[in-house]
Protein backbone atom coordinates (compact mmCIF):
# COMPACT_ATOMS: atom_id res chain seq x y z
CA UNK A 1 0.00 0.00 0.00
CA UNK A 2 1.25 3.39 -0.86
CA UNK A 3 2.21 6.50 1.06
CA UNK A 4 -1.19 7.91 0.38
CA UNK A 5 -3.41 5.23 -1.10
CA UNK A 6 -4.82 2.06 0.48
CA UNK A 7 -8.12 0.20 0.53
CA UNK A 8 -10.07 -1.11 3.48
CA UNK A 9 -13.61 -1.67 4.68
CA UNK A 10 -14.99 0.55 7.45
CA UNK A 11 -15.72 -1.18 10.75
CA UNK A 12 -19.31 -0.68 11.98
CA UNK A 13 -18.43 -0.27 15.64
CA UNK A 14 -16.02 2.60 15.04
CA UNK A 15 -18.41 4.29 12.64
CA UNK A 16 -21.22 4.08 15.20
CA UNK A 17 -19.00 5.56 17.92
CA UNK A 18 -18.05 8.43 15.63
CA UNK A 19 -21.70 9.14 14.85
CA UNK A 20 -22.60 9.48 18.53
CA UNK A 21 -20.22 12.44 18.99
CA UNK A 22 -19.78 14.30 15.68
CA UNK A 23 -17.64 17.17 17.04
CA UNK A 24 -15.15 14.84 18.73
CA UNK A 25 -15.08 12.59 15.67
CA UNK A 26 -14.38 15.50 13.30
CA UNK A 27 -11.45 16.69 15.40
CA UNK A 28 -10.13 13.15 15.76
CA UNK A 29 -10.06 12.39 12.03
CA UNK A 30 -8.43 15.73 11.22
CA UNK A 31 -5.67 14.98 13.71
CA UNK A 32 -5.22 11.49 12.23
CA UNK A 33 -5.10 13.01 8.74
CA UNK A 34 -2.35 15.48 9.65
CA UNK A 35 -0.33 12.88 11.54
CA UNK A 36 -0.62 10.38 8.69
CA UNK A 37 0.49 12.99 6.16
CA UNK A 38 3.46 13.84 8.38
CA UNK A 39 4.45 10.17 8.75
CA UNK A 40 4.13 9.26 5.07
CA UNK A 41 5.92 12.47 4.10
CA UNK A 42 8.80 11.50 6.38
CA UNK A 43 9.08 8.06 4.78
CA UNK A 44 10.78 9.57 1.72
CA UNK A 45 13.31 11.35 3.91
CA UNK A 46 14.18 8.17 5.82
CA UNK A 47 14.25 6.05 2.67
CA UNK A 48 16.70 8.43 1.01
CA UNK A 49 19.00 8.33 4.06
CA UNK A 50 18.85 4.53 4.24
CA UNK A 51 19.20 3.87 0.51
CA UNK A 52 22.40 5.91 0.30
CA UNK A 53 24.19 3.28 2.44
CA UNK A 54 22.11 0.11 2.15
CA UNK A 55 21.21 0.23 -1.53
CA UNK A 56 17.70 -0.09 -2.95
CA UNK A 57 16.75 -3.74 -2.32
CA UNK A 58 18.27 -4.06 1.18
CA UNK A 59 16.57 -0.79 2.17
CA UNK A 60 13.16 -2.10 1.11
CA UNK A 61 13.80 -5.49 2.75
CA UNK A 62 14.79 -3.99 6.10
CA UNK A 63 11.80 -1.65 6.01
CA UNK A 64 9.21 -4.39 5.48
CA UNK A 65 10.93 -6.75 7.96
CA UNK A 66 10.80 -4.12 10.70
CA UNK A 67 7.17 -3.32 9.84
CA UNK A 68 6.34 -7.05 10.01
CA UNK A 69 7.92 -7.36 13.46
CA UNK A 70 6.00 -4.28 14.59
CA UNK A 71 2.62 -5.52 13.33
CA UNK A 72 2.81 -9.23 14.23
CA UNK A 73 2.22 -8.78 18.00
CA UNK A 74 -0.72 -6.48 17.24
CA UNK A 75 -2.18 -9.12 14.93
CA UNK A 76 -2.27 -11.61 17.81
CA UNK A 77 -3.42 -9.06 20.39
CA UNK A 78 -6.41 -8.13 18.24
CA UNK A 79 -7.28 -11.78 17.65
CA UNK A 80 -6.93 -11.56 13.86
CA UNK A 81 -4.50 -14.44 13.36
CA UNK A 82 -7.33 -16.81 12.30
CA UNK A 83 -8.40 -14.29 9.63
CA UNK A 84 -4.84 -14.15 8.32
CA UNK A 85 -4.59 -17.95 8.23
CA UNK A 86 -7.79 -18.09 6.20
CA UNK A 87 -6.61 -15.53 3.62
CA UNK A 88 -2.83 -15.92 3.79
CA UNK A 89 -2.28 -16.66 0.10
CA UNK A 90 -3.75 -13.44 -1.35
CA UNK A 91 -2.38 -11.42 1.59
CA UNK A 92 1.19 -12.60 1.01
CA UNK A 93 0.94 -12.29 -2.77
CA UNK A 94 -0.54 -8.79 -2.70
CA UNK A 95 2.16 -7.79 -0.20
CA UNK A 96 4.78 -8.14 -2.92
CA UNK A 97 2.90 -5.58 -5.05
CA UNK A 98 1.81 -3.18 -2.31
CA UNK A 99 5.04 -3.11 -0.30
CA UNK A 100 7.98 -5.18 -1.57
CA UNK A 101 8.34 -3.98 -5.16
CA UNK A 102 7.23 -0.33 -4.72
CA UNK A 103 9.47 0.21 -1.69
CA UNK A 104 12.40 -1.15 -3.71
CA UNK A 105 11.51 1.03 -6.71
CA UNK A 106 11.26 4.17 -4.57
CA UNK A 107 14.52 3.38 -2.80
CA UNK A 108 16.19 3.07 -6.21
CA UNK A 109 14.63 6.35 -7.34
CA UNK A 110 15.78 8.14 -4.19
CA UNK A 111 19.40 7.35 -5.07
CA UNK A 112 18.95 10.06 -7.73
CA UNK A 113 15.83 12.06 -6.86
CA UNK A 114 15.26 14.36 -3.92
CA UNK A 115 12.73 13.08 -1.38
CA UNK A 116 10.23 15.86 -2.14
CA UNK A 117 10.20 15.10 -5.85
CA UNK A 118 9.66 11.37 -5.20
CA UNK A 119 6.71 12.25 -2.94
CA UNK A 120 5.18 14.43 -5.66
CA UNK A 121 5.39 11.51 -8.12
CA UNK A 122 3.84 9.26 -5.46
CA UNK A 123 0.78 11.51 -5.55
CA UNK A 124 -0.08 10.04 -8.96
CA UNK A 125 -1.06 6.69 -7.37
CA UNK A 126 -4.83 7.44 -7.35
CA UNK A 127 -4.64 8.30 -11.05
CA UNK A 128 -3.02 4.97 -11.89
CA UNK A 129 -5.62 3.34 -9.65
CA UNK A 130 -8.38 4.93 -11.72
CA UNK A 131 -6.79 3.64 -14.94
CA UNK A 132 -6.46 0.10 -13.59
CA UNK A 133 -10.06 0.15 -12.32
CA UNK A 134 -11.17 1.36 -15.76
CA UNK A 135 -9.33 -1.44 -17.56
CA UNK A 136 -10.04 -4.20 -15.03
CA UNK A 137 -13.44 -3.51 -13.52
CA UNK A 138 -14.81 -1.50 -16.46
CA UNK A 139 -15.22 1.40 -14.03
CA UNK A 140 -15.28 4.03 -16.78
CA UNK A 141 -14.39 7.52 -15.52
CA UNK A 142 -16.52 10.51 -16.50
CA UNK A 143 -15.20 13.46 -18.49
CA UNK A 144 -14.05 15.27 -15.35
CA UNK A 145 -11.94 12.31 -14.26
CA UNK A 146 -10.48 11.78 -17.73
CA UNK A 147 -9.46 15.45 -17.79
CA UNK A 148 -7.84 14.91 -14.38
CA UNK A 149 -5.83 11.97 -15.72
CA UNK A 150 -4.58 14.07 -18.64
CA UNK A 151 -3.66 16.99 -16.36
CA UNK A 152 -1.94 14.76 -13.80
CA UNK A 153 0.21 12.91 -16.30
CA UNK A 154 1.06 16.21 -17.99
CA UNK A 155 2.42 17.35 -14.63
CA UNK A 156 4.61 14.25 -14.41
CA UNK A 157 5.89 14.89 -17.94
CA UNK A 158 6.72 18.47 -16.94
CA UNK A 159 8.72 17.18 -13.97
CA UNK A 160 10.61 14.66 -16.08
CA UNK A 161 11.45 17.32 -18.66
CA UNK A 162 13.68 19.31 -16.32
CA UNK A 163 16.42 18.48 -13.84
CA UNK A 164 14.79 20.16 -10.83
CA UNK A 165 14.71 17.88 -7.82
CA UNK A 166 17.63 15.67 -8.86
CA UNK A 167 20.76 15.09 -6.79
CA UNK A 168 23.71 17.25 -7.78
CA UNK A 169 25.79 15.54 -10.45
CA UNK A 170 22.99 13.22 -11.59
CA UNK A 171 23.03 12.72 -15.34
CA UNK A 172 19.92 12.87 -17.52
CA UNK A 173 19.79 9.11 -18.10
CA UNK A 174 19.96 8.28 -14.38
CA UNK A 175 17.26 10.85 -13.65
CA UNK A 176 14.90 9.34 -16.20
CA UNK A 177 15.46 5.83 -14.84
CA UNK A 178 14.77 7.13 -11.32
CA UNK A 179 11.49 8.74 -12.39
CA UNK A 180 10.55 5.56 -14.27
CA UNK A 181 11.22 3.51 -11.11
CA UNK A 182 8.96 5.79 -9.03
CA UNK A 183 6.21 5.56 -11.65
CA UNK A 184 6.60 1.75 -11.64
CA UNK A 185 6.07 1.85 -7.88
CA UNK A 186 2.88 3.85 -8.38
CA UNK A 187 1.63 1.29 -10.90
CA UNK A 188 2.33 -1.50 -8.39
CA UNK A 189 0.28 0.37 -5.78
CA UNK A 190 -2.58 0.77 -8.26
CA UNK A 191 -2.70 -2.93 -9.10
CA UNK A 192 -2.38 -3.97 -5.45
CA UNK A 193 -5.28 -1.71 -4.46
CA UNK A 194 -7.52 -3.31 -7.07
CA UNK A 195 -6.33 -6.81 -6.15
CA UNK A 196 -7.13 -6.04 -2.52
CA UNK A 197 -10.58 -4.90 -3.61
CA UNK A 198 -11.13 -8.18 -5.47
CA UNK A 199 -9.61 -10.75 -3.10
CA UNK A 200 -9.44 -9.20 0.39
CA UNK A 201 -12.66 -7.22 0.74
CA UNK A 202 -14.07 -7.72 4.23
CA UNK A 203 -10.83 -9.19 5.65
CA UNK A 204 -9.82 -7.50 8.94
CA UNK A 205 -7.38 -4.71 8.19
CA UNK A 206 -4.69 -5.86 10.63
CA UNK A 207 -4.61 -9.27 8.94
CA UNK A 208 -4.23 -7.62 5.53
CA UNK A 209 -1.57 -5.14 6.64
CA UNK A 210 0.51 -7.70 8.54
CA UNK A 211 0.15 -10.33 5.84
CA UNK A 212 1.36 -7.89 3.20
CA UNK A 213 4.51 -7.16 5.19
CA UNK A 214 5.18 -10.87 5.70
CA UNK A 215 4.82 -11.51 1.97
CA UNK A 216 7.10 -8.59 1.08
CA UNK A 217 9.73 -9.72 3.62
CA UNK A 218 9.79 -13.26 2.24
CA UNK A 219 10.05 -11.99 -1.36
CA UNK A 220 12.91 -9.57 -0.66
CA UNK A 221 14.95 -11.64 1.81
CA UNK A 222 17.20 -13.51 -0.65
CA UNK A 223 17.78 -10.61 -3.11
CA UNK A 224 18.59 -8.29 -0.19
CA UNK A 225 21.04 -10.81 1.28
CA UNK A 226 22.74 -11.15 -2.11
CA UNK A 227 23.05 -7.36 -2.51
CA UNK A 228 23.83 -6.57 1.12
CA UNK A 229 26.48 -3.81 1.34
CA UNK A 230 30.05 -4.95 1.97
CA UNK A 231 30.54 -2.18 4.54
CA UNK A 232 28.19 -2.12 7.52
CA UNK A 233 25.84 0.90 7.23
CA UNK A 234 26.11 3.62 9.83
CA UNK A 235 23.92 3.99 12.91
CA UNK A 236 22.20 6.93 11.19
CA UNK A 237 21.12 4.72 8.27
CA UNK A 238 19.90 1.97 10.61
CA UNK A 239 17.89 4.44 12.70
CA UNK A 240 16.33 5.85 9.50
CA UNK A 241 15.10 2.40 8.48
CA UNK A 242 13.84 1.61 11.99
CA UNK A 243 11.85 4.85 11.86
CA UNK A 244 10.43 4.18 8.39
CA UNK A 245 9.57 0.59 9.32
CA UNK A 246 7.84 1.27 12.62
CA UNK A 247 6.39 4.77 12.35
CA UNK A 248 5.99 5.34 8.60
CA UNK A 249 4.82 1.81 7.78
CA UNK A 250 3.46 -0.08 10.80
CA UNK A 251 1.94 2.84 12.73
CA UNK A 252 0.90 4.64 9.54
CA UNK A 253 -1.13 1.65 8.33
CA UNK A 254 -3.02 1.57 11.62
CA UNK A 255 -3.68 5.31 11.40
CA UNK A 256 -4.88 5.07 7.81
CA UNK A 257 -7.34 2.28 8.51
CA UNK A 258 -8.62 4.17 11.55
CA UNK A 259 -9.00 7.27 9.38
CA UNK A 260 -11.15 5.30 6.93
CA UNK A 261 -13.32 4.15 9.82
CA UNK A 262 -13.75 7.64 11.25
CA UNK A 263 -14.00 9.76 8.12
CA UNK A 264 -14.66 7.42 5.20
CA UNK A 265 -12.52 6.53 2.16
CA UNK A 266 -13.10 9.81 0.29
CA UNK A 267 -11.79 11.98 3.11
CA UNK A 268 -8.98 9.53 3.86
CA UNK A 269 -7.80 9.86 0.26
CA UNK A 270 -7.10 13.57 0.81
CA UNK A 271 -3.93 12.55 2.64
CA UNK A 272 -2.48 12.26 -0.88
CA UNK A 273 -2.32 16.06 -0.98
CA UNK A 274 -0.53 16.39 2.37
CA UNK A 275 2.27 13.87 1.81
CA UNK A 276 4.22 15.93 -0.79
CA UNK A 277 3.88 19.07 1.37
CA UNK A 278 5.46 17.36 4.37
CA UNK A 279 8.07 15.61 2.22
CA UNK A 280 9.17 18.86 0.56
CA UNK A 281 9.39 20.52 3.98
CA UNK A 282 11.42 17.69 5.54
CA UNK A 283 13.78 17.51 2.57
CA UNK A 284 14.46 21.25 2.67
CA UNK A 285 14.97 21.41 6.45
CA UNK A 286 16.85 18.18 7.17
CA UNK A 287 18.63 17.41 3.88
CA UNK A 288 19.06 20.87 2.43
CA UNK A 289 17.08 19.95 -0.71
CA UNK A 290 16.21 22.86 -2.94
CA UNK A 291 12.55 23.55 -3.65
CA UNK A 292 12.37 25.23 -7.04
CA UNK A 293 9.50 27.21 -8.50
CA UNK A 294 9.23 24.64 -11.30
CA UNK A 295 8.80 21.79 -8.79
CA UNK A 296 5.99 23.68 -7.05
CA UNK A 297 4.24 24.43 -10.35
CA UNK A 298 4.44 20.76 -11.36
CA UNK A 299 3.23 19.68 -7.93
CA UNK A 300 0.17 21.93 -8.21
CA UNK A 301 -0.60 20.55 -11.69
CA UNK A 302 -0.32 16.95 -10.43
CA UNK A 303 -2.45 17.62 -7.34
CA UNK A 304 -5.15 19.24 -9.52
CA UNK A 305 -5.08 16.17 -11.75
CA UNK A 306 -5.39 13.83 -8.76
CA UNK A 307 -8.30 15.86 -7.34
CA UNK A 308 -10.20 15.59 -10.63
CA UNK A 309 -9.28 11.98 -11.49
CA UNK A 310 -10.33 10.67 -8.09
CA UNK A 311 -13.63 12.58 -8.04
CA UNK A 312 -12.70 14.69 -5.01
CA UNK A 313 -13.34 17.72 -7.22
CA UNK A 314 -15.74 17.64 -10.16
CA UNK A 315 -16.32 20.06 -13.00
CA UNK A 316 -19.78 21.51 -13.42
CA UNK A 317 -21.64 21.62 -16.69
CA UNK A 318 -19.91 24.84 -17.72
CA UNK A 319 -16.46 23.58 -16.73
CA UNK A 320 -16.34 25.15 -13.26
CA UNK A 321 -15.01 23.17 -10.31
CA UNK A 322 -17.48 21.84 -7.76
CA UNK A 323 -16.73 20.22 -4.44
Which of the pair, 305 or 245, is modelled with greater confidence?
245
Phi, psi at 21, each rounded to 5°: -140, 80
- Count of domains for the chain: 1
Phi, psi at 168, each rounded to 5°: -65, 135
pTM: 0.83
> Does a structural domain hold residue 7?
no
Closest CA to 286 of 56, 78, 114: 114
> Does a structural domain hold residue 68?
yes
> Does a structural domain hold residue 5?
no
Helix %, strand %, coil % for the chain, to 5?
A: 75, 0, 20
pLDDT in tens, 26-67: 567 888 888 999 999 999 999 999 999 999 999 999 999 999
**Residue-level pLDDT at 4:** 52
> Does a structural domain hold residue 2?
no
Overall residue count recorded for the chain in this entry? 323
Q: What span, in angstroms and rounded, lies between the C-alpha atoms of 228 and 306?
A: 37
**Residue-level pLDDT at 17:** 46
> Does a structural domain hold residue 134?
yes
The whole-angstrom distance between residue 24's C-alpha and the CA centroid of its chain comes to 28
pLDDT in tens, 85-120: 999 999 999 999 999 999 999 999 999 998 888 988
> Does a structural domain hold residue 1?
no
> Does a structural domain hold residue 163?
yes
Q: What span, in angstroms and rounded, lies between the C-alpha atoms of 85 and 270?
A: 32
Domain that residue 262 falls in:
12-322
pLDDT in tens, 115-158: 888 988 888 888 888 788 788 777 777 888 888 888 888 888 88
> Does a structural domain hold residue 190?
yes
Amino acid sequence: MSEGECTASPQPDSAAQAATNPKTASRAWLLDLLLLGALWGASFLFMRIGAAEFGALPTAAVRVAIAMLFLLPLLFLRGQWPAFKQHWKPALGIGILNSGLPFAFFAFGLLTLNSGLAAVINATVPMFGALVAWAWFKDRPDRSRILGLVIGFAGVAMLAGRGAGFHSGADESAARWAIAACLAACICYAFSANLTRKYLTGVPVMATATGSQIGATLALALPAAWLWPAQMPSLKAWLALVAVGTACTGLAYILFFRLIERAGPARALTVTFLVPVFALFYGAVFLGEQITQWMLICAVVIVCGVALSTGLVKLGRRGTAAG
